[in-house]
Amino acid sequence: MIESLLAYGWWVGALCIVLGFVALVKGADWLVDGASAIAKRFGISDLVIGLTVVAFGTSMPEFVVNMVSVAEGSTDLALTNILGSNIINTFVILGLTALVYPIASQKRSRDFDIPMSIIAGLFVLVFVAVQLPFGEDGKGVGRIGGVILLLLFCYFLYNTFRHAKDHPSELPSDEGQSTKKITLRRAICLILGGLVGLVVGGELIVKSAVDLATRMGVSEAIIGLTIVALGTSLPELATSVIAAAKHNSDIALGNVFGSNIFNVFFVLATSATVRPLPAYEGIELDAVMAALGSIIVWLAVKTNDQRMIQRWAGALLLLVYGGYLTYRLMNV
């Protein structure tokens, strides 16, 4: 069905990508609402709901796109979706948010979340740049690498749960309140509708992105780094910029680095465990950028007494991203 639609021209493919993102984002939203409501009915605490259902739900767009990409054999798209999303999260979302209003940081973000995001980028860089002695051919993120990343993800979850229990005052006071009025029937319908939206959206995006790359004569990696990565990062972008406009920009830092950590240690790790992801041309630079963004942010919040990402740092992030994107597009 999708293949027959794409035969009508590139504009149909572009429209399918847009529709895919709408289905993907809405599907993730419905899935989170439905799952949270059911978890609430079973007496699961707001803390657990926030750290599991909601956190996993915000990474569903990247996860579904990656699973479809792996199933279709488009491994370049699976890698660039994650690296591109993390790059856009850090350089573009935090850059724009800081320009609107300086971003405050909590001690937890400075001491754990940002360093974990740096480690995530460095691990990917090691996997794709060095031939590791794990019995896997070629460079890239193989199954052993995926397992290593999943173990780090387990450590991240353990540390996050422990911190949340020790510091309950840092949790949002209204977490999970919106789920109380949802009936069981509606919750089930939301979950089913969300799953359908995720699957349909993922199929539309991956098939249309591959078709668009072929028609434009560019690699899947470029499409993944730009169109697909930006689309899967749109929810974080909208949330962070709107929050900054309301002078609540401090939530942006946790959202962005939480998403970055989930993307690498869970989504990319799961993808590589299902099917090894070989390195593509230029992936070393992309992995460096994924780590560099977090390093710049960490230095920005550590070098001022307010522990904030000031407007100058936001401008720097956007300038660095602009230079990187220009270089990547000129060397297709």
Distance CA 69, CA 212 (A): 15
User: So what's the pLDDT on residue 258?
Assistant: 83
Q: Please determine, for residue 175, whether its predicted confidence score (pLDDT) is greater than 60.
A: no
Mean pLDDT score of the chain: 82
Q: Are 66 and 201 in contact (CB under 8 A)?
A: no
User: So what's the pLDDT on residue 176?
Assistant: 43
pLDDT band, very low/low/confident/very high, at 3 (cuts 50, 70, 90): low
pLDDT in tens, 110-140: 888 899 999 998 999 888 877 655 545 567 8
Distance CA 16, CA 240 (A): 26
Residue-level length of the chain: 332
Map tokens 């847009």 to a residue. Answer: 18
Both structure tokens of 297: 């942010």
pLDDT band, very low/low/confident/very high, at 287 (cuts 50, 70, 90): very high
HEC per residue, the chain: CHHHHHCCCHHHHHHHHHHHHHHHHHHHHHHHHHHHHHHHHCCCCHHHHHHHHHHHHHCHHHHHHHHHHHHHCCHHHHHHHHHHHHHHHHHHHHHHHHHHCCEECCHHHHHHHHHHHHHHHHHHHHHHHCCCCCCCCCCEECHHHHHHHHHHHHHHHHHHHHHHHHCHHHCCCCCCHHHCCCCHHHHHHHHHHHHHHHHHHHHHHHHHHHHHHHHHCCCHHHHHHHHHHHHHHHHHHHHHHHHHHCCCCHHHHHHHHHHHHHHHHHHHHHHHHHCCEECCCCHHHHHHHHHHHHHHHHHHHHCCCCCEECHHHHHHHHHHHHHHHHHHHHCC
The whole-number average pLDDT for the span 277-285 is 88
The whole-number average pLDDT for the span 127-155 is 79
Q: Give CA 257 to chain center in angstroms.
A: 9
pLDDT band, very low/low/confident/very high, at 62 (cuts 50, 70, 90): confident
User: So what's the pLDDT on residue 293?
Assistant: 94
User: So what's the pLDDT on residue 179?
Assistant: 47
pLDDT in tens, 195-218: 888 888 877 887 787 777 777 777
Q: Are 195 and 27 in contact (CB under 8 A)?
A: yes
pLDDT band, very low/low/confident/very high, at 164 (cuts 50, 70, 90): confident
Distance CA 48, CA 161 (A): 8
User: So what's the pLDDT on residue 307?
Assistant: 87
Q: Which amino acid is at 301?
A: V
Distance CA 68, CA 134 (A): 26
Distance CA 205, CA 109 (A): 32
Residue of 272 and 224 predicted with greater confidence = 272
Crossing angle for the helix pair 10-41 and 229-245, to the nearest 10 degrees: 60
User: So what's the pLDDT on residue 214?
Assistant: 73
- What class does CATH assign to 2-330? mainly alpha
User: What percent of the chain has pLDDT above 90?
Assistant: 25
pLDDT band, very low/low/confident/very high, at 8 (cuts 50, 70, 90): low
The whole-number average pLDDT for the span 8-25 is 76
User: So what's the pLDDT on residue 77?
Assistant: 84
pLDDT in tens, 100-113: 888 888 888 888 88
User: So what's the pLDDT on residue 282?
Assistant: 87
Distance CA 290, CA 86 (A): 6
pLDDT in tens, 25-36: 788 888 878 888
Write the burial class of residue 302 (CB in 10 Å: 0-12 exposed, 13-18 middle, 19+ buried): exposed
| pTM attached to this predicted model | 0.81
pLDDT band, very low/low/confident/very high, at 11 (cuts 50, 70, 90): low
User: So what's the pLDDT on residue 135?
Assistant: 44
User: So what's the pLDDT on residue 51?
Assistant: 56
User: What percent of the chain has pLDDT above 70?
Assistant: 85
Q: Please determine, for residue 324, whether its predicted confidence score (pLDDT) is greater than 90.
A: yes
User: So what's the pLDDT on residue 48?
Assistant: 63
The whole-number average pLDDT for the span 260-266 is 92
Residue of 228 and 287 predicted with greater confidence = 287
The whole-number average pLDDT for the span 87-94 is 93
